[in-house]
Chain A
């Protein structure tokens, strides 16, 4: 595809439900990032994949958050037992790995999660 796509664009969940958010990166992009953006704030890093390997998950706020990228392309961010504080926009970004950079990250439109 032409860019990073995410689905669904909007998700409403009742507190305690599990949700799964999907990211389709740009074809051929080795690196994939997830960010969380609360209302009025800048995005905050959650986790990073290089191909299928999750190399950094230091930003995941709790063990209710889980991300995977089993075949090194599509990624899923799963949130178990959602809480109201999980309400945010979840952004996915992908990047080439190119010696010399700039290795800019290309972002999808995000999934807006609202937990009631």
Chain B
């Protein structure tokens, strides 16, 4: 799986949008971009994934650049409960046995 690069930490004000970047310049054509987050003392939680088109669900939006070498996870209205470590993962998806290769992620702190 391709390596990803994320900032170590970010801060965001409550109610504002949080934009978390990820670089994955060596991504292959059959690899998807996945985002998970891990709230303190909990297991990781799936957020969203995409291949090349922008995606949106009830939790977040995912913007992938046209060359697919980077992406941004957007939390449109961050709350205190969004404070967590966010992991960007590239993965040969849609196969059941595909492991998740986590990096160190971005610690997002949402401030009141």
Contact = CB atoms under 8 A, between A and B. Distances in A.
B107 to A, nearest CB: 10
B9 interface: no
A50 B94 contact: no
A48 B93 contact: no
Contacts, number: 73
Contacts of B102: 35, 42-44
Given A103-B93, A109-B42, A109-B43, A48 B99 contact: yes
B49 A102 contact: yes
Interface residues of A, number: 33
Given A42-B87, A42-B104, A91 B97 contact: no
B24 to A, nearest CB: 15
B101 A45 contact: yes
- Chain B interface helix/strand/loop/mixed: loop
Contacts of A116: none
A43 B104 CA distance: 9
A91 B43 contact: yes
Main SS at interface, chain A: loop
Nearest to B103: A42
A4 interface: yes
Given A42-B104, A45-B101, A107 B96 contact: no
Given A105-B44, A107-B44, A109-B43, 4 more contacts: A95-B96, A102-B46, A105-B100, A110-B43
Interface of B: 32, 34, 41-46, 49, 85, 87, 93-105
Interface of A: 4, 30-31, 33, 35, 40-45, 48, 50, 55-56, 59, 91, 93, 95-97, 99-110
